[in-house]
């Protein structure tokens, strides 16, 4: 297999070349040299937090992108069979965020997939990420004045409405993906807050743009004041890190909906802004709470 044909995979996965070594110790070394890991790959894009949400926590969502030349691209949380990109039969361009592998710079990887789709004949699916090479990032290809307006779907049936050819493989991928969809919804009153139902419990996951240390301090201050809730019966349960941003999580009152969270989210946002503006040293209780928040954090990517 020629080096340029070897797809990008996770650094700890076996190298696709068949050497038996991990990717990072084989062909991944060249990838890392070309595209070093970027902590916040979507920094500089409009609505960075929604990019992170679509990539990490929202199972079925779409948004319209605009290229610098005016052409439109449909951004999707995931495409059939986790394709990175698709040049549809009618010329429509689609870009998928939830893909396997990567060079450590998701923005460069996705830009490369998008450029391949643009150059490919109509009806072509880009089935894997290519090896990283010097080239543009999404920030270089997209119209940065165009906001990201996310539409959350109940399932991935939008694959059909986008005109994707329903081959047996695509249908099987759709059925499998829909069977595992976590019901989700966007809280419309604030940016990048998403409700979800996992089993018989509801949660709110809210991607935050703030500096991680400052945000953790603010959350600790609010916990000590018992002001970190989203209303009676809710509880702040911790935060995880995704694409360089922290995502606080709350458990909600059973039966709560995304619409129910609209007003509480606005109220909490005001309290958070006040806590973020507080420059006083943390008290002993606040430091203890802060340590607990950090100890429970996990990193998705």
CATH of domain 187-295: 3.30.1460
Return the residue matching tokens 């909600």. Answer: 252
Query: Which tokens is 271 given?
Result: 């309290």
Average pLDDT for residues 263-271, to the nearest whole number? 98
Q: Give 76 or 297, the one with higher predicted confidence.
A: 76
| Closest of 169, 191, 184 to residue 59, by C-alpha | 184
Whole-angstrom distance, CA of residue 71 vs CA of residue 65? 8
Average pLDDT for residues 195-218, to the nearest whole number? 97
Name the band, by pLDDT with cuts 50, 70 and 90, for residue 146: very high
Q: Give 191 or 15, the one with higher predicted confidence.
A: 191
Name the 3-class secondary structure at 201.
Answer: strand
Domain boundaries, the chain: 3-179, 187-295
Whole-angstrom CA distances from 195 to 53, 128, 180, 198, 207 are: 11, 30, 16, 10, 12
3-state helix, strand, coil in the chain (%, to 5): 35, 20, 45
CB 9, CB 24: distance < 8 Å: no
The residues near 125 (Cβ < 8 Å, ≥ 6 apart) are 79, 80, 81, 83, 85, 86, 87
Q: Give 26 or 120, the one with higher predicted confidence.
A: 120
Q: Give 222 or 134, the one with higher predicted confidence.
A: 222
| Closest of 97, 82, 109 to residue 8, by C-alpha | 109
In this prediction, residue 122 carries a pLDDT of 94
pLDDT of 5 above 70: no
Name the band, by pLDDT with cuts 50, 70 and 90, for residue 134: confident
Whole-angstrom distance, CA of residue 218 vs CA of residue 277? 8
Whole-angstrom distance, CA of residue 278 vs CA of residue 108? 37
Name the 3-class secondary structure at 289.
Answer: helix
Compute φ and ψ for 259, nearest 5 degrees: -65, -35
Q: Give 101 or 206, the one with higher predicted confidence.
A: 206
Whole-angstrom distance, CA of residue 4 vs CA of residue 62? 31
Please give the distance of CA 82 from its chain centroid, rounded to a whole number.
Answer: 14
Return the residue matching tokens 């979800």. Answer: 196
Q: Give 67 or 178, the one with higher predicted confidence.
A: 67
In this prediction, residue 30 carries a pLDDT of 60
Q: Give 35 or 276, the one with higher predicted confidence.
A: 276
Q: Give 163 or 58, the one with higher predicted confidence.
A: 58
| Closest of 124, 83, 125 to residue 101, by C-alpha | 83
Name the 3-class secondary structure at 84.
Answer: coil
Name the band, by pLDDT with cuts 50, 70 and 90, for residue 173: confident
In this prediction, residue 31 carries a pLDDT of 56
> To the nearest whole number, what is the mean pLDDT of the chain?
90
User: What letter would DSSP give residue 260?
Assistant: G
Name the band, by pLDDT with cuts 50, 70 and 90, for residue 32: low
In this prediction, residue 160 carries a pLDDT of 72
Whole-angstrom distance, CA of residue 100 vs CA of residue 84? 9
In this prediction, residue 149 carries a pLDDT of 96
Q: 105-122, pLDDT tens digit by residue?
A: 999 999 999 999 999 999
Whole-angstrom distance, CA of residue 210 vs CA of residue 89? 41
Name the 3-class secondary structure at 286.
Answer: helix
């Amino acid at each position: 297999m020629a080096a340029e044909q070897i797809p990008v995979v996770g650094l700890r996965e076996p190298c696709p070349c068949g050497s038996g070594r991990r990717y990072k110790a084989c062909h991944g070394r060249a990838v890392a040299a070309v595209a070093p890991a970027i902590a916040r790959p979507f920094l500089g894009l409009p609505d960075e937090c929604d990019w992170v949400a679509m990539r990490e926590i929202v199972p079925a969502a779409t948004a319209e992108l605009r290229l610098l030349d005016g052409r439109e691209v449909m951004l999707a949380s995931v495409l059939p069979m986790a394709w990175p990109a698709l040049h549809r039969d009618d010329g429509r361009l689609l870009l998928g965020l939830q893909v396997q592998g990567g060079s450590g710079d998701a923005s460069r990887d996705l830009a490369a997939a998008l450029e391949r789709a643009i150059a490919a004949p109509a009806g072509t699916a880009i089935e894997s990420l290519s090896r990283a090479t010097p080239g543009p990032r999404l920030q270089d290809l997209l119209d940065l004045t165009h906001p990201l307006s996310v539409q959350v779907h109940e399932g991935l049936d939008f694959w059909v409405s986008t005109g994707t050819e329903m081959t047996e493989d695509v249908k099987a991928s759709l059925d499998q993906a829909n069977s595992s969809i976590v019901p989700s919804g966007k809280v419309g009153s604030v940016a990048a807050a998403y409700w979800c139902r996992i089993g018989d419990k509801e949660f709110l996951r809210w991607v935050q743009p703030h500096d991680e240390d400052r945000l953790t301090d603010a959350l600790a201050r609010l916990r000590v004041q018992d002001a970190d809730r989203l209303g009676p019966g809710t509880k702040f349960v911790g935060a995880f890190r995704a694409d360089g941003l922290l995502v606080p999580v709350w458990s909600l009152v059973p039966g709560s909906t995304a619409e129910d969270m609209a007003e509480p989210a606005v109220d909490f946002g005001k309290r958070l802004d006040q806590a973020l503006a507080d420059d006083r040293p943390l008290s002993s209780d606040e430091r203890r709470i802060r340590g607990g928040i950090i100890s429970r954090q996990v990193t998705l990517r």
